[in-house]
Amino acid sequence: MSESFDPLDPRLEVGTWISDAFDWFTETFQPVLDVIGSVLEGAYNGVFDVLSAPPFLVMIALFAGLGWLVRSWRFAVVTVVGFYLVAAMDRWDGAMQTLSLVLVAAFIATAIAVPLGIWAARSQPVSNVLRPVLDFMQTMPPMVYLIPTLGAFAIGVVPGMISTIVFAMPPGVRFTELAIRQVDTEVVEAGQAFGSSPARILRQIQLPLALPTIMAGINQVIMLSLSMVVLAAMVGAAGLGLDVVSGLQSLNVGRGVEAGLAVVVLAIYLDRVVSALADRAPVVRASRVRA
């Protein structure tokens, strides 16, 4: 017989309820989880194969070329120096593993976050529902996400990737909703006056005008994904985070600092590239919104 509830000494078995619900979920949907795990691992391996197949000098040249194309030749020079430093510290493979994880996780997080942000911007009830959920996702300690994902997918890159997606997604939703809501209503009304449909107004007016702010949200998604690198290594994800964890466990300051510097190089490069793309947002003209 269960003990009666004492309001002066309360004890709710919330953890037990959540554990039982999680066990039921994993047992019921294990085939679906297996498919998700296989798809994510395949995507990660595919991106890593592409990034690691060419010699590192070729990849540095490609990274520098992209930097020159979207930003400037000065940034291309900085890119060469930064990535060559990564290779010289013998952290190239780890950097490409980390970059692969971040690219896949950030792509999936963005693909979920942007539509949710658009939906929230166009529907106040959806926004009201999403707001506390996003607050919960952002305030929950990141390491807590590793526990259920590790239980559902076992050790490897997948639990780290899913934890990264969940942790990094909220800024993408918030920035997208804010960007759509901040679009000048007069411009939207002009599109409506031309007889444009809501979908066309969204595609040709709101999204182009909101693109800089949306890209800022995507930038935050990428930065938060990089911040999860170390935690992802704790559940079996390879990359620079594994070097940081190994350095921590062995008190090897040099190894940890080298891995940290490589993460900084990746963060600076991705930040500058995404920011440059945001600056290239198209200008909306009245002729584009006519029916």
Task: State the average pLDDT over residues 116-128.
Answer: 92
Distance of CA 107 to the CA centre of its chain: 7
Structure tokens at 19: 């554990």
Structure tokens at 250: 């062995």
- Digit-coded pLDDT (tens) for 45-80: 999 999 998 999 999 999 999 999 988 889 999 999
Q: Do 116 and 175 contact (CB within 8 A), yes or no?
A: no
Q: Which of 1.25.40.10, 1.10.3720.10, 2.60.40.10, 1.25.40.320 is the CATH number of 90-281?
A: 1.10.3720.10
Domain boundaries, the chain: 54-88, 90-281
Task: State the average pLDDT over residues 124-153.
Answer: 87
Distance CA 196, CA 288 (A): 10
Task: State the average pLDDT over residues 145-149.
Answer: 84
Output the CA–CA distances (angstroms, integers) from residue 93 to 56, 214, 259, 273, in the order listed.
9, 31, 11, 21
